[in-house]
C-alpha cells in the first residue's frame, strides 16, 4: 500500500457470547479507531452485546446473523461487503470467523489477515468433541496457509503457536483493560441491600462463563470448606452457560443454597466485583482472562489458579495468591488467608492495581496491535496459494461451516 495512506482494518467476530474475546474486542476497537492512521470497522455474526457495544462506541458495524443465514449466504454477503469496503487487514478472533475470513482471502478481497488466539482449546466430550476436532484441524490449516500473523495473548500460547507456525508468524500481545471504564458506579452497601447480603457478611465470588473449564465445581467445594470457618459466607457466581443446572445441583448437594447466589449475566459486573472481599478465578485453563485484569484494576484481593497466562499477571504473594488448579483445599485456604488478614488482602489488592497500571492497560495493547497492522500493511504481498490447495481448503471450510450453520439455525 502507499506510504502515509490510512490503513483500513475490519474485525470479524461471531459475537454469540460475552466472554473474554468479546470483551477484549470491545475494549480494543474504540482505541484503535481514535488513531488517525487507522480506519476501523467490524462485521459481527450475531445480534448480541458485542455488536451493541461496538455500535455504542461509534464503530461502523455490520451484523450478518448466522441464525438466519447458511454458510454460502454468509460468504456471499461477506464477499460483497469486503469488495465494496476493501479492507487492507481482516482481523479474526475465533475458529468460525477465521474460517469465514479465509474464504474472502481465497477470493482475493482481503490482502492481509490477522488472527487472535484468546486461549487454549477447551476440553469437550462426546459428539461435540468430534465436531470440534474437525473444526480446529481446518482452523490450523487456515492459520498455516491463509493467516499472515497469529496474535497470542499469553507466553504459553506464544510458545505453543511458535512451535507450530514459526516465530515470524506469531506475535505475543497481552490483553489490557481500559482503566477509565473499569470503575464501580454504585456503593457496595446499596448493592448488598439489593442482593440481601448482610453488611458484615464475607463475600467471595467470580465472573465468567458457566462451563467446566472455568473450574466452578472445585470453587463450590472450596466454598463449603470456607463456610465451615465462616458461616456468614456469601458466594457470588456471575455469568451464564451450559453448566448452570449442574452447578445449582452441586450447590444443593453441598448444602450451599443459602450461601451461593447465581446472578446470571449482569451488566453491572464492575459493581459486583468491587463488592467482593475476595475475587476468585478457579479456572482449569486460561489465556489472559479479562475478568482477572478487571478485578485487579478494581484493587480486589485475588485468588487464582496457576494456569495459562495467569502467572504472567499475578506474582504470588505480591499482587495476589496462586494455587494449583482443581485443588479444593488449597483454594479454600488461600481465600481464608485473605479473609483472616484484611491488611494483607488490602496490600495485595493495591499491588494488583499497580500491576495492571504498569503492564496491562488497554492503551498499551492497542498501541502494539496498531504497530503490528502498520508493519504488516507495508510488507510485500504473500505468494498465492496453489489452485489445488486453495480448492481443498475451500471444500474443507464449506464442510465444517456448512454443518455448523445448520446446527446454529436448528438451535435458534
**CATH code of the domain covering residue 353:** 3.40.50.2000
Count how many domains the chain has.
2
Residues 130 and 52 in one domain: yes
> What is the rounded radius of gyration, in angstroms, for the C-alpha atoms of the chain?
22
pLDDT at residue 387, as a whole number: 59
278 and 152, same structural domain?
no
Let me know if residue 183 belongs to a domain: no
Residue 93 covered by a domain: yes
Domain that holds residue 131: 7-176+362-411
Boundary residue ending a domain (359, 375, 403): 359
Q: What is the pLDDT, as a whole number, of residue 64? A: 94
Whether 1 is covered by a domain: the verdict is no
CB atoms within 10 A of CB 108: 11
Q: How many CB atoms lie within 10 A of CB 298?
A: 25
Are residues 44 and 14 in contact, defined by beta-carbon separation less than 8 angstroms?
A: yes
Helix (H/G/I), strand (E/B), else coil: 409? helix
Residues β-bridged to residue 48:
none
Which ranges constitute the DSSP H helices of 34-173? 49-56, 71-85, 95-106, 126-146, 155-165
2 in any annotated domain: no
Q: Are 111 and 89 in contact (CB under 8 A)?
A: yes
Asked whether residue 266 falls in the same domain as residue 399, the answer is no
- Whole-angstrom distance, CA of residue 319 vs CA of residue 347: 8
The three-state secondary structure class of 316 is strand
Strand locations in 265-346, DSSP E? 278-281, 302-305, 321-323
Is residue 333 one of the residues assigned to a domain?
yes
Could you tell me if 193 and 326 lie in one domain? yes
- The answer to whether the CB of 219 falls within 8 A of the CB of 211 is no
Say whether both 12 and 151 belong to one domain. Answer: yes
Q: How many CB atoms are closer than 10 A to CB 4?
A: 6
- CA dist 99 and 396 (Å) reads 10
Partnered with residue 8 across adjacent β-strands are 39
Q: Hey, CA dihedral for 289, 293, 298, 304, is it positive or negative?
A: positive
- Per the CB < 8 A criterion, the answer to whether 294 and 271 are in contact is no
Strands 38-44 vs 7-13: parallel, antiparallel or unpaired: parallel
Same domain, yes or no, for 346 and 371?
no
Residuewise pLDDT in 10s, the chain (412 residues): 545 689 999 999 999 989 889 999 999 999 999 999 999 999 999 999 999 999 999 999 999 998 888 878 888 898 889 888 889 999 999 988 998 888 877 767 788 999 999 988 766 666 666 667 778 888 888 898 889 999 999 999 999 999 999 999 999 999 999 999 999 999 999 999 999 999 999 999 999 999 999 999 999 999 999 999 999 999 999 999 999 999 999 999 999 999 999 999 999 999 999 999 999 999 999 999 999 999 999 999 999 999 999 999 999 999 999 999 999 999 999 999 999 999 999 999 999 999 999 999 999 999 999 999 999 988 876 656 565 666 666 777 777 776 555 555 555 4
What's the pTM?
0.88
Give yes or no: residues 405 and 320 share one domain. no
Task: Identify the pLDDT of residue 68.
Answer: 87
> Which residues, 6+ apart, have CB-to-CB distance to 258 below 8 Å?
none
Residue 124 maps to a domain = yes
Within-domain flag for 158: yes
Q: Distance between the two ends of the chain, CA-based, in angstroms?
A: 42
My answer on whether 368 and 400 are in the same domain is yes
Phi/psi of residue 183, nearest 5 degrees? -140, 150
Kindly state whether residues 36 and 146 are assigned to the same domain. Answer: yes
265 lies in the same domain as 322: yes
Residues 42 and 161 in one domain: yes
Q: How far is CA 364 from each of CA 164, 177, 236, 309, 370, rounded to the nearest angstrom?
A: 27, 9, 31, 17, 10
> Does residue 310 sit in the same domain as residue 379?
no
Is residue 265 situated within a structural domain?
yes
Residue 398: the pLDDT is 74
Q: Which of 56, 112, 52, 108 is nearest to 79 (CA)?
A: 108
Q: Which residues contact 113 (CB under 8 A, 6 or more apart)?
A: 89, 90, 91, 92, 101, 102, 105, 146, 147, 148, 149
pLDDT of residue 137: 84
- The DSSP secondary structure of 200-239, one letter per residue, reads T-EEEEEES--SGGG-HHHHHHHHHHHHHH-TTEEEEEE-
Instruction: Determine what percent of the chain falls in helix, strand and coil, rounding each to the nearest 5.
Output: 50, 15, 35
Q: What is the pLDDT of residues 245-299, one digit of tens each?
A: 999 999 999 999 999 999 999 999 999 999 999 999 999 999 999 999 999 999 9
Amino acid at each position: 500500500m502507499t506510504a502515509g495512506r490510512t490503513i483500513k482494518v475490519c474485525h470479524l467476530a461471531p459475537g454469540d457470547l460475552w466472554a473474554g474475546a468479546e470483551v477484549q474486542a470491545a475494549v480494543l476497537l474504540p482505541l484503535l479507531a481514535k488513531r488517525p492512521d487507522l480506519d476501523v470497522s467490524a462485521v459481527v455474526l450475531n445480534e448480541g452485546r458485542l455488536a451493541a457495544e461496538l455500535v455504542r462506541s461509534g464503530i461502523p458495524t455490520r451484523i450478518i446473523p448466522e441464525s438466519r443465514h447458511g454458510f454460502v449466504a454468509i460468504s456471499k454477503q461477506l464477499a460483497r461487503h469486503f469488495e465494496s469496503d476493501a479492507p487492507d487487514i481482516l482481523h479474526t478472533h475465533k475458529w468460525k470467523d477465521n474460517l469465514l475470513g479465509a474464504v474472502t482471502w481465497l477470493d482475493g478481497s482481503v490482502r492481509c489477515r490477522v488472527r487472535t488466539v484468546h486461549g487454549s482449546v477447551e476440553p469437550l466430550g462426546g459428539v461435540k468433541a468430534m465436531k470440534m476436532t474437525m473444526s480446529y484441524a481446518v482452523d490450523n490449516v487456515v492459520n498455516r496457509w491463509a493467516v499472515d500473523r497469529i496474535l497470542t495473548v499469553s507466553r504459553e500460547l506464544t510458545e505453543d503457536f511458535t512451535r507450530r507456525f514459526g516465530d515470524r508468524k506469531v506475535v505475543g500481545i497481552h490483553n489490557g483493560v481500559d482503566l477509565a471504564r473499569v470503575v464501580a458506579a454504585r456503593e457496595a452497601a446499596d448493592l448488598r441491600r439489593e442482593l440481601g447480603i448482610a453488611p458484615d457478611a464475607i463475600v467471595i465470588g467470580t465472573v465468567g462463563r458457566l462451563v467446566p473449564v472455568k473450574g466452578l465445581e472445585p470453587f463450590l467445594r472450596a466454598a463449603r470448606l470456607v463456610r465451615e470457618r465462616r458461616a456468614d459466607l456469601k458466594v457470588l457466581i456471575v455469568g451464564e452457560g451450559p453448566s448452570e443446572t449442574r452447578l445449582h445441583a452441586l450447590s444443593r448437594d453441598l448444602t450451599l443454597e443459602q450461601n451461593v447466589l447465581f446472578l446470571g449475566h449482569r451488566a453491572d459486573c464492575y459493581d459486583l466485583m468491587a463488592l467482593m472481599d475476595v475475587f476468585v478465578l478457579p479456572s482449569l485453563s486460561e489465556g489472559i482472562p479479562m475478568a482477572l485484569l478487571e478485578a485487579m484494576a478494581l484493587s480486589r484481593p485475588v485468588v487464582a489458579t496457576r494456569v495459562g497466562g495467569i502467572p504472567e499477571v499475578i506474582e504470588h504473594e505480591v499482587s495476589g495468591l496462586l494455587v494449583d488448579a482443581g485443588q479444593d483445599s488449597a483454594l479454600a485456604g488461600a481465600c481464608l488467608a485473605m479473609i483472616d488478614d484484611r491488611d494483607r488482602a488490602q496490600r495485595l489488592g493495591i499491588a494488583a492495581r499497580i500491576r495492571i497500571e504498569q503492564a496491562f492497560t488497554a492503551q498499551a495493547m492497542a498501541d502494539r496491535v496498531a504497530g503490528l497492522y502498520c508493519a504488516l500493511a507495508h510488507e510485500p504481498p504473500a505468494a498465492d496459494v496453489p489452485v489445488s490447495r486453495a480448492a481443498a481448503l475451500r471444500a474443507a471450510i464449506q464442510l465444517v461451516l456448512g454443518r455448523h450453520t445448520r446446527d446454529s439455525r436448528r438451535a435458534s
